[in-house]
Structure 1
Amino acid sequence: MDSPTKRKQYVIKPPIPSDEKQRLAAVRSYHLLDTLPEKDFDNITALTASICDTPIALVTLLDTDRNFLKSHYGLAFNEAPRDTSFCGHAILEETDVFVVEDARIDPRFEKNPLTTNMQAVFYAGARLVNSDGFSLGTLCVFDTKPRTITSKQRRALTALAYQVVNLFEARKHNRMLLAAQEELKERNEELKSFAGIVSHDMKMPLANMIITSDMLHAKYGNVLDAQAKKYLDYIKQSSFTLSEYISGLLEHYETDKTISSIAETFDSQDLIEEIIELLNINIDCEINLPEENIEMQANKSALEQIFINLVGNSLKYNDKDKIKIDIDCFEKDDVYYFSISDNGMGIPEEELSNIFDLFGTIGVLDRNGVKGNGIGLSTVKKLITKLGGEIEIFSTLGVGTTFKFSIQKKIIV
């Protein structure tokens, strides 16, 4: 038997592709080198070995100086030198499948250690070509005896190689999505932090403007003309509007904190009565509560925020002398269902599709002459979605609006 030094002199090394630099960059872009075996690839090599009736099947990636075996059916190792690899030759072939029927009589492989030491006599390899045309490696089979490959096996090997590349692409795409998701998460956290800092910093000057307007009214009201008083009222009202806008933004961006609150057990009647008390209603209003009281297990803080927004809208966007609001609640299986109906202004049909969009408004003024900011309903939908529910709206212009929504029951252990 030849010594290792002498044997290497007879090995015909596979040539280096002309686009090797770009090809290697493509291989590494999939981040599969030196990764652990995966069932998806192992299933393909097992199937390939069965179809081709061979003891060995591999998914390989050709690195700078090694042939990395992403999946190795029938072998106990996961890499081999590139200089002695059959795959190094296979990636240069333009045919669909590179075949060596008997390596012992093939000048390229007769002195190859894989042939002389491991009895790798038969080889068939289909190139793994990505969408940019780079040969990444092969899906290949080995046998210890000379043989041929049938046209049916050739077609199967080509088709399975195509599926291997699809798996490569899917994993690459998933990695990119995860990276983009992480970047978006970081930017969202930065945005939340920025919004919180800016909002809190703006609230104090706005409060000072409101107080200053009242002080000017009180101290100089007797010397100000009607136009000057009107300007002061405008400054005060604008400050209130901007303050509400900022509060809405903070509420919207802090929904994650609300959702993370621990679930509680509480009565539906108590919850709704607390909301009505918080709203401090000082206008003619009739609110009809659900007939049935339900013991609920849910995120109370989030539900309070939802009700405050929806009932608050029913109060604000109502042009009737007497406001009427009907609230209903029932449970079925593991879901709570709610509805809030009012006799308010209603919403034009063409506006319903974007009513839950952030900053989406219908352009009308509320009963106090203030235009909405389009944050509240967006926050409501965001909360309901995170609570595992859905919300829908029904409205008739001039007659009223009904919101129906659901949330998942939270099991308390």
Structure 2
Amino acid sequence: MISPVIPANEEKRLDSIKDLDIIGSLPEETYDSITKLASAICETPIALITILDKEINWFKSKVGTSIEKSEREISFCGHAILEPQKLFEVPNTLKDERFKDNPLSIAKEGAIRFYAGAPILDEEGLPLGTLCVLDSKEHHLSDAQKTALKALAKQVEVLFNYRRKNKELEKLKDDLDENNRILREFASTVSHDLKMPLANMIITADILKAKYSGNLDEEGIKYLNYLKQSGLTLSDYINGLLDYYSSNVEANREQEFFLNDLLEDIIDLLNIAENCEINLPDNNLKIYGNSAAVGQIFMNLINNSLKYNSNEKIVIDIDCTENREFFNFSVKDNGIGIPTSKHEEIFELFTTATDSDRQGKKGHGIGLSTVKKLVGSLGGFINVTSEKGEGTCFDFSIKRYIQ
């Protein structure tokens, strides 16, 4: 018996196998279907997808055997990977100097007489293992069978590449989740640490105004009002950040609620002025989803329609439709509109479309970024139709969930 030599690129090859992280993984139908095809096409009782590690030859998929691995030094695959661009075929192992006294060839039961293996390569051309077929008697593959075996090995390579990319995406998701967790903790900490001093500042401004207004001139009163308003603005800003980083639409998602009932509750909370007309949908749509998240979306959009409107009478039209996959909504107003050049950037955090709202206050650019985040988390999308001075219409959808 001649044991397979170690390839010159062995260290890089083993690093690639380690990065693939497939040894010891559970059986998968996508791989098993390939070994079944290889066995049927090549007319052999055994077919394997192997990974040749440092000391073992491990079988990711197998047909015709219950063995899960073999020692590398007696493996046929160890020889096959030495010429990674060629199909390695041994018609009769007893007639080959390398294998005639190999334990696998002379075993009392299940002896291997025939082997053919197509190396499986990574994206850099490093051989990781083989797609191989085996028989207990002498066998010869036709040219068509050889071509098919090599083509199936290419499919395994595609699956391996998908596995690597999925691992990269999972790692990226884990990193993003961790970053979001840190940001949520940071937002919560900042909110907790700043809310009390801000509350004290606002209350102190009110006390000073109530107790000493008689001793202050008009400019002094103006400064106190400015101090209080600054505190309130900063408080709103902190609350917005906290809402953005702590929103979790997965919790309590599966709820049944009626859209118009939800909208009426929101209108009550916003304390709508008499000069505002809000037209609700004609159909009180029954929705199965996350009422808290949908409510937060409508709260932000309706509030924006109120704030960014210079007309004597504010008109807001809300509509909804449904199809097999989505609930579709729209919030349209007669407000100041949004320049076309800013349609994309208004959904970015800390970005505003205008310098100030109806009351002259500058926005913080958190509301619409929160809305987009919530809509995306609900499996939907959002877009805006607007021109400066012509009003604004936000269309958004959420994915339907089967009850």
- Tell me the TM-score normalized by structure 1: 0.86
1:127 CA displacement: 1.6
**1:314 pairs with one of 296, 305, 310:** 305
Q: Could you tell me how far apart the structure 2 residues matched to 1:240 and 1:217 are? A: 16
Alignment of 1:289-304 (within 5 A): 289-293=280-284, 298-304=289-295
Residues 1:396 and 2:387 are matched in the alignment: yes
Q: 1:259–1:302: 8 Å Cα contact kept in structure 2?
A: no
Q: Could you tell me how far apart the structure 1 residues matched to 2:400 and 2:140 are? A: 63
Alignment of 1:99-138 (within 5 A): 99-117=89-107, 118-138=110-130
Q: Could you tell me how far apart the structure 2 residues matched to 1:224 and 1:90 are? A: 94
Match of 2:271 in 1: 280
The letter of the residue matching 1:132 is E
The letter of the residue matching 1:15 is V
1:406 CA displacement: 4.0
Tell me the SS of whatever aligns to 2:299: helix
Tell me the SS of whatever aligns to 1:403: strand
Match of 1:5 in 2: none
1:96 CA displacement: 0.9
Quote the RMSD (CA, aligned, Å): 2.8
Residues 1:326 and 2:322 are matched in the alignment: no
The letter of the residue matching 2:156 is V
Distance change (3 Å), C-alpha of 1:396 and 1:180: closer
1:409 CA displacement: 6.0
1:343 CA displacement: 1.9
**2:162 pairs with one of 148, 165, 170:** 170
Tell me the SS of whatever aligns to 2:354: coil
Q: Could you tell me how far apart the structure 2 residues matched to 1:206 and 1:137 are? A: 65
Q: 1:346–1:396: 8 Å Cα contact kept in structure 2?
A: yes
Match of 2:207 in 1: 215
1:124 CA displacement: 1.7
Residues 1:346 and 2:337 are matched in the alignment: yes
Residues 1:362 and 2:353 are matched in the alignment: yes
**1:256 pairs with one of 219, 224, 248:** 248
1:357 CA displacement: 2.6
Match of 1:46 in 2: 36
Distance change (3 Å), C-alpha of 1:217 and 1:190: same
How big is each residue's C-alpha offset from its partner over 1:173-225, in whole Å with a ceiling of 9 and x where there is no partner? 22332233233223322321221221122111112222222333334444445
Q: In percent, how many aligned pairs have the same letter?
A: 49
Q: Could you tell me how far apart the structure 2 residues matched to 1:28 and 1:279 are? A: 57
Match of 2:51 in 1: 61
**1:235 pairs with one of 204, 227, 230:** 227
Match of 1:8 in 2: none
Greater displacement, 386-395 / 131-140: 386-395
Q: 1:263–1:410: 8 Å Cα contact kept in structure 2?
A: no
1:109 CA displacement: 1.3
Residues 1:37 and 2:31 are matched in the alignment: no
Q: 1:259–1:387: 8 Å Cα contact kept in structure 2?
A: no
Greater displacement, 57-66 / 379-388: 379-388
Task: Structure 1: state its 5+ residue gaps.
Answer: 1-10
1:262 CA displacement: 5.7
The letter of the residue matching 1:54 is T
Task: Structure 2: state its 5+ residue gaps.
Answer: none
Distance change (3 Å), C-alpha of 1:70 and 1:347: same
Match of 1:375 in 2: 366
1:39 CA displacement: 1.8
- Tell me the TM-score normalized by structure 2: 0.88
- Aligned pairs, number: 401
